[in-house]
Amino acid sequence: MVTIAVIGCGRIAKNAHFPALATLKNVKVKYACDLIIEKANKFKEKYPELIEQTITDYKVALEDSEVQGVLVLTPNYAHYTVTMDALKAGKHVLCEKPVTINYDLSVKMADEAKKQGKILSIGVCNRFNKSVEMIKDWIEQGKFGNIYHVYCSFRGFRNIPGLGGDFTTKSQSGGGVLIDWGVHFFDIILYVLGGAKIKNVTCDAYCELAKDMKSYKYKSMWAEDTSNIENGTNDVDDFISGYVRTDKASISFNGAWAQNINKPEMFIDFLGDKGGARLNYGGNFEFLDGSTLETEIPEFDIPNMWGCQDQAFIDSIETGVQSKNNIDSVLETMKLLDALYVSSDKKEEIKF
Ligand SMILES: NC(=O)c1ccc[n+]([C@@H]2O[C@H](COP(=O)([O-])OP(=O)(O)OC[C@H]3O[C@@H](n4cnc5c(N)ncnc54)[C@H](O)[C@@H]3O)[C@@H](O)[C@H]2O)c1
């Protein structure tokens, strides 16, 4: 049995991690922690077999020698501090995506994990998605031939989360749609291409549709509990577009938290000289074989990717072996996000 603490009991804890942890056989959550105790208490009521106690100060869990690992499910701005404290306290960590608000701090987290000899996994959960795993296998088997270009679209309609709150405040979130949604898309791409390294990037980011927060129109707003339209900040990208060259394929992309086109599109197109595939984000994929012009839509059971990810973290704690979402393998994604923002700010290409 592995003993862990869960720090941050918000949406991702509710929608993904607690349901996943409750299905695992070999894990005990000694502490569910949130600054707002009622939030942690709700989970204790729902999962009485899984959770032992609730706390507001995560340091209580870090001081407990029985706790082997922690899940860091706080907003982006707190990933760095909580993860560093946990590593220094000798705990293994699974920290939600993005690693933190920028690349430099992400590198420091990776260095600290190495120094302490601890596991640091990142919640790039799509690496545990069956479609993503299959595309990666098929690329390795040569079914796509040479993948020369990847296009991705992560465009919603009116989806700015928690307007005015930490999601739309760059100093707290690190950015907008790129770091929040784009992180998953770019992580998938660099990962399935076999750890592609970026060579140069160019990008334009826009904060257009809620420049005047009070007149922004939407039907529902996710993360509304963190919204602060009266007095908050919105200084992040709600639309972004760019071009990336890597040592493998080139990548073009568009992303929108909000746009005046009611056609949400969430997919990645992998263009190979032998075959191509459209990965529908979070779902299945369609593969076109260029020699037969036949389209194949593989059928398979889709295991819960968060369950697989959390299981992998628990396994890593038990075995000491890093999992496929280890921090070192996610740093290139963070480097790319940073470079795209810098390119947009400077209005010039960034080269490595
Ligand atoms: N993997 C995914 O697909 C996915 C999806 C959604 C969110 N996320 C990530 O998960 C993280 C949390 O997002 P969310 O939507 O759950 O946010 P949220 O605001 O709903 O929840 C965060 C919780 O952390 C608590 N908190 C903040 N600082 C704390 C501290 N120092 N100690 C204890 N608790 C603290 C807050 O009170 C809040 O309840 C973000 O980094 C986000 O990017 C990942």
Residue owning the nearest CA to atom 36 of ligand 1: 8
Rounded Cα distance, 222 and 177, in Å: 13
What's this model's pTM, rounded to 2 decimal places?
Answer: 0.97
CA distance readout (Å), 321 to 117, 129, 149, 254: 11, 20, 33, 36
Say what the pLDDT of residue 303 is.
81
Compute the Cα dihedral for 239, 176, 69, 115 and give only its sign.
positive
Contact 242, 202 (CB under 8 A): yes
- pLDDT at position 342: 98
pLDDT of residue 172: 97
List the pLDDT tens digit at each of the 352 positions of the chain.
999 999 999 999 999 999 999 999 999 999 999 999 999 999 999 999 999 999 999 999 999 999 999 999 999 999 999 999 999 999 999 999 999 999 999 999 999 999 999 999 999 999 999 999 999 999 999 999 999 999 999 999 999 999 999 999 999 999 999 999 999 999 999 999 999 999 999 999 999 999 999 999 998 899 999 999 999 999 999 999 999 999 999 999 999 999 999 999 999 999 999 999 999 999 999 999 999 999 999 988 878 899 999 999 999 999 999 999 999 999 999 999 999 999 999 999 999 9
pLDDT of residue 300: 83
Distance 8 CA to ligand 1 centre (A): 6
d(C-alpha 142, C-alpha 275), whole Å: 9
Atom of ligand 1 at shortest range from CA of 56 = 33
C-alpha–C-alpha distance, residues 123 and 325, integer Å: 7
Mutation to probe ligand 1, out of 12, 304, 309 (largest number of atoms < 8 A from CB): 12
Query: Hunting for tokens 């949604």 — which residue is that?
Result: 181
Closest CA to 185 of 333, 343, 344: 333
Q: What is the dihedral of CA 116, 125, 210, 233, to 10 degrees?
A: -20
Count of other CB atoms within 10 angstroms of residue 47: 15
What integer pLDDT is reported at residue 9 of this predicted model?
A: 98
* 3-class SS of residue 332: helix
- Burial of residue 199 (CB within 10 Å: 0-12, 13-18, 19+) is middle
Contacts of 232 (CB under 8 A, 6+ apart): 163, 164, 165, 168, 169, 213
- 80 CA distance to ligand 1 centroid (A)? 13
Alpha carbon of 309 to those of 2, 16, 124, 182: distances in Å?
A: 15, 10, 9, 19
Give distance in angstroms: CA of 104 to centre of ligand 1. Answer: 21
Partner residues linked to 121 by β-bridges: 94, 326
DSSP state of 213: G
Kindly list the distances between the CA atom of residue 42 and the CA atoms of 19, 67, 175, 287, 306, in Å, as whole numbers in the listed order. 13, 21, 30, 43, 20
Both tokens of residue 117? 């000899």
Q: Which domains does the chain have, with CATH numbers?
A: 2-126+306-325 (3.40.50.720), 127-304+334-351 (3.30.360.10)
Can you spell out the DSSP letters for 245-270?
A: EESS-EEEEEEESB-S----EEEEEE
Distance of alpha carbon 182 from alpha carbon 17, whole angstroms:
21
Interior angle at CA 21, CA 16 and CA 24, nearest 5:
135
